[in-house]
Chains A and B, each alone.
Chain A
Amino acid sequence: MITAQGLGKTYPDGTRGLAGLNLKIEQGEFVAIIGGSGAGKSTFLRLVNGTIPTTDGQLQVLDCNVPDADPSDLRKLRRQIGFIFQQFNLVKSLSVMDNVLVGRLGYHNDLAGTLGLFSDEDKRLARQYLDEVGLSAKYHSRADQLSGGQQQRVAIARALVQDPKIILADEPMASLDPKLSEVILELLKSFNEKKKITVIVNIHVLELARKYASRIIGLRGGQLVFDGPVSSLTDEKLRMIYG
């Protein structure tokens, strides 16, 4: 599903984001990536959906060879990958419904998308997933009138409406209080189990990583220092990751 071989990323200013990463992630896994800031967690997620170009090695995501992909290949790849951000990244002045419909844009040509020609099926899916994340009453609210936790649930609905094979989540709970963090991870876990969506989540709270993930990847200074099931993450391994 996701195969990286010698994957590396050096930013134009010379910063090394990731180096020599080898790993394989299978369909239906729930992976937590842990590591300090600057360890390369965000870089990895953004390489996977092609938001930033790779500079070294191989990266195969679904049926796409990412380093060789042209813009249209990347569009096709991205529509199968939901991305959830720390700051939610909703379009604040649009309604909740419109924000979720945005998730369908990858399935329309650019002109139809620009004109907002969403199909009845798009709208049905949007309503369905808003219901599933518990926001049935909020279809027509403006996104910026929702609380942080509600906004992140809209973002999850936006990802789900893509009918994704993979969901990437970059510190999705970092802007939320601990109780809401659990709600968000609970939601991701349920869709991981129900629909076999692969979930990869960057996380800085270790207890949450342990509680929800089946596999943990530890990064440090852009390199893989741990990869294994939650049970094998000992204190000694943790010192290797966080120093």
Chain B
Amino acid sequence: MANMTMAKRAPGEKELQDLAQAGYLDRFTNLKYLILVAGTVLFFWSAQAVEFDLVKLWDNKAMLWEFVTGMFPPDTAIAQQVTEQVIITIQLAFVGTVIATIVSLPLGFMAAQNVMPKNRLGSGIVNVTRFLLNADRAIDAVILALFFAGAVGLGPFAGTLALAIHSVGMLGKLFYEAIETVDKGPIEAVESVGAGKLSVIRWAILPQVIPYFVTYFLFRFELNIRSAVVLGVVGAGGIGFLLQSYMKLFQYQRTCTVVLVILVLVMSLDALSSKIRKKLIGDK
């Protein structure tokens, strides 16, 4: 009680702080409403631009229904053809991911601050490599596939090149982040015996990062299988191409077979690779 009366008579530092905080909160509240209003306006402006129309969807419900019911039962007669194309899709993803990993390895080390020398040349290499990796991530595999199709023709080869190059951006980033978080102790120890720079990478850094690299390879392989399906739709062959052809010909039962096979394929590979990943680096 005594304290309270004291506070009323002479506002101390704490009260002043409270006032400042209240003012700050007021401003923050205003900003919140402004963002809310601006966000709402932006949403309706954009929705109108993309012709978003729930009424139209409702009016065409019969066609949607026809599409869905037309898919069943799936056509099992094309199983062999589908399997062949699925294998091509996996191969496309696999070759693309392996090439990307090989390219990303040196780039990962070149982008790692704890590996490169701490001088202007070293930080220059780090910055340029990181810029290239960032730029690479910004360009989607589909765009790259269309680009390569111009050079080597539409087909699996263009798709593989696209996946390989697009994956380098992400793998390179994951690799250098893993390298930068290694335990410094072993590095100091291996340096202390008079080992050269490459030997330090080989004996102190590589053993620590290999489990992570394998994990990232598997993770990227999962993503690339999905990308490879999409690349097939734009002409890189494989299961995606089959899917697109059946849909164009309104062969919904065959389309359904393809969709189901993709579903099973992606889910089982995901399960397998997450099992391996857990074994390698624990539950993370």
Binding site for B on A (CB under 8 A): 49, 51, 74-83, 85, 87-94, 98, 102-111, 113-114, 116, 155, 158, 162
Report chain B residues within 8 Å CB of A113: 195-196, 198-199, 202-203
Question: Other than the known A102-B189, A107-B194, A114-B199, what 12 A-B pairs have Cβ atoms closer than 8 Å?
Answer: A74-B194, A78-B191, A83-B189, A83-B192, A85-B188, A85-B189, A89-B186, A91-B190, A91-B203, A93-B211, A114-B198, A116-B202
| Among B189, B194, B197, B201, contact of A106 (Cβ-Cβ < 8 Å) | B194
The verdict on B106 contacting chain A, using a C-beta distance below 8 Å, is no
Closest Cβ–Cβ distance, residue A63 to chain B (whole Å): 14
Contact yes or no, B192 A78, CB < 8 A: yes
Report chain B residues within 8 Å CB of A76: 194
The verdict on B273 contacting chain A, using a C-beta distance below 8 Å, is no
CA distance A87 to B201 in the complex (A): 20
CA distance A109 to B196 in the complex (A): 7
The verdict on B123 contacting chain A, using a C-beta distance below 8 Å, is no
Smallest Cβ-Cβ distance to B198: which chain A residue = A114
Closest Cβ–Cβ distance, residue B179 to chain A (whole Å): 15
The verdict on B54 contacting chain A, using a C-beta distance below 8 Å, is no
Closest Cβ–Cβ distance, residue B139 to chain A (whole Å): 34
CA distance A162 to B195 in the complex (A): 11
CA distance A80 to B194 in the complex (A): 8
Smallest Cβ-Cβ distance to A116: which chain B residue = B202
Contact yes or no, B188 A89, CB < 8 A: yes
Report chain A residues within 8 Å CB of B150: none
Report how many A-B pairs have Cβ atoms within 8 Å: 94
| Among B195, B208, B211, contact of A105 (Cβ-Cβ < 8 Å) | B195
Contact yes or no, A114 B192, CB < 8 A: no
Contact yes or no, A85 B197, CB < 8 A: no
Contact yes or no, B199 A110, CB < 8 A: yes
CA distance A77 to B193 in the complex (A): 9
The verdict on B204 contacting chain A, using a C-beta distance below 8 Å, is yes
Q: A75-B196, A113-B199 are in contact. Are A93 and B189 (CB under 8 A)?
A: no
Q: A110-B199, A113-B198 are in contact. Are A102 and B192 (CB under 8 A)?
A: no
Contact yes or no, A51 B199, CB < 8 A: no
Contact yes or no, A102 B196, CB < 8 A: no
Report chain A residues within 8 Å CB of B203: 91, 94, 98, 102, 105, 113
CA distance A78 to B190 in the complex (A): 10
Contact yes or no, B186 A105, CB < 8 A: no
The verdict on B185 contacting chain A, using a C-beta distance below 8 Å, is yes
CA distance A49 to B189 in the complex (A): 12
Can you list 30 A-B pairs, Cβ within 8 angstroms, ordered by A?
Answer: A51-B191, A51-B192, A76-B194, A78-B191, A78-B194, A85-B185, A89-B185, A90-B189, A91-B186, A92-B207, A92-B208, A93-B208, A94-B207, A102-B190, A102-B193, A102-B203, A105-B190, A105-B193, A105-B196, A105-B199, A105-B203, A106-B195, A107-B194, A109-B196, A110-B195, A110-B198, A111-B198, A113-B198, A114-B202, A162-B194
Report chain A residues within 8 Å CB of B207: 91-94
Mask for B38-49, Cβ within 8 A of A = 1, else 0? 000000000000
Q: A91-B204, A105-B199, A113-B202 are in contact. Are A79 and B194 (CB under 8 A)?
A: yes
Closest Cβ–Cβ distance, residue A171 to chain B (whole Å): 13
Closest Cβ–Cβ distance, residue B217 to chain A (whole Å): 17
Report chain A residues within 8 Å CB of B204: 91
Which 7 residue pairs across A and B have the least CB separation, nearest first?
Answer: A106-B194, A110-B196, A79-B194, A105-B195, A113-B199, A89-B185, A78-B194
Closest Cβ–Cβ distance, residue B207 to chain A (whole Å): 5
Contact yes or no, A102 B208, CB < 8 A: no
CA distance A113 to B185 in the complex (A): 19
Contact yes or no, A158 B193, CB < 8 A: yes
Report chain B residues within 8 Å CB of A79: 193-194
Contact yes or no, A81 B199, CB < 8 A: no
